[in-house]
Structure 1
């Protein structure tokens, strides 16, 4: 029996209300796998990774130079005997005695008896001797065992999304594999008339489907397993069957229509009868017609028609929902700060607006300039900008020089 639909009221939600509902409802998916490091980039760690030994495992040199005893270097320009050399993987097995030095390169284990490293630029060699120039501090230029990670400490917390640095940490611990949560499964579909076909001239009244490729890129950055259902068209029964089938095999369905009348006449009635919808509209511009609910076992988002609106709603709500579903926690703090506007801005009353701008450095001050072409269909405004200028519901028109909130969006997904 299909679930009943609750629209959550006819008035659109604020962006904070909608975001709060979505993040309260979704929870991490079940399932995990063990993957090799070379396949672990962008995956979410299942459980804490604990260091099995100190990193670095032994004291080692932070510089190319000479390992010495500080006690031998208290007098100005002491002359020391070079008794050997050490490098990573090639240890000096002897003991550094009084008046002696060992040539070391970065990463070499500190020989027994030495307690400081003199950089090459502070040493003058003549044959088998070295003259030390300048004062020496205890432990100078030595990386101590456990300085990076102590044995038994948490090296990577559960819920962390693995980046290049985390892969390096795992490699430094000698771990060739890591336990990660399974990838999130996301279905993408559009409904309505087919887009124009690549490779042939554009017919009058036709358009290409930019939204599909925007979402391809955003979802690829998120590292999901994507099921592309293409453009559904034809009789309502076959489209409904395709959507129901998609919802059975994935965690999230992202759907958008190629025309607004189809939303009203077909998609919305389908969801009213089959889904439990939490909301249909969010009081933001662009991006107001964003819907969220549950269809069978899957979460379901209905996206706006216009491409800029798709990106705004993805960055502001959908991306963090996908992160939480994928098991990522805590969610990264969203960067936002106030800067002076170099443009006067007309504000539509009663809604939260996301305008596209560019951050500009003027002397020591960071400012923002509004881009021309702020329509929700002007996709070039996203390509040419680097931040959102966020104007809350209560804001009015702004003059040049007023302070505004900005949210950089490069790398947000």
Structure 2
């Protein structure tokens, strides 16, 4: 019989997002063409979001996400004490309704600020999509791109110029600035790789448990991956995991079993559908497993631990920029204190461009210095979540990490549940009672 602790301590849940991200900062410099190029400067992030702010953020972000043609997005302040919402059309009825909602949630105006914005989320997402089509799908000159609500702009990663030109004189930065003006900003990139390598999790499976693919003859694929969350489509519950985990086009890998071995109780399922490879540039890096049981709980201890937390909410939209996240995977167990930098991110890894990503960094000491101590190979497909009253709120699954560990810390990329909802607007998540 599976041993799972019933310790669903609320205190643990509320500490899951113990850190938040500071707002990014940008400066403007001039290049030889005379056009201003916005240079992205990574911030030093301090503080922790209070449980009260976490709940306000969830409610406001959920509302704002319904009106992407009115709002630019939401983000947490640099000291983690407040929430900001950007509004482009102050006279839109949706803006009036937001003010009423904020008045109820924050009657003393202690936490939430509404400010004017230049670009709506739809404006920025359209620019992001155009850059992906022109510079990433074609494989020329851009290594990553996504939306940063805290900057009211699209952040573009470009490779370091081989001739030594700085970003202010980078030809692609100049061209995109001339095309989109202040709506774009730039950063030099580092290489990426997928996060593909535990336990003996039996059905029904929890988030953060590990599995391997086997062929019909019983031969096992190299490496292992992790399970994310249950997802319900047309009244059938599937297991959400990373799409890149199943070996390429090797269709002979038909069944998934626990890392612990092959038996009926350790069966994780077979492939129902996947975005990999073909639609990952629209929906993100994910697949659905079928044929086993998948429950709304997440392992919240080190590898081998049996303690878990309840999944009490799910966001099928991007989290607020600067908010805190946690991960749970078969390689590293639970890790918190990630900070969201950009959303709607697109990044090439494993030879293909993948979108619908959340771009994060880890700050395990909570000192504003980013590190490389987040998830790792084997955690792909694992749960990405934030604290919520009574448990956790699901946001996505682990997808990729930067190859190297620079002094400024490694980037972590998670596929957002937003990608799943784009694929099927009727998709939902069963929640714990």
Bigger fraction of residues in helix: 1
TM-score w.r.t. length of structure 2: 0.20
Bigger fraction of residues in strand: 2
TM-score w.r.t. length of structure 1: 0.20
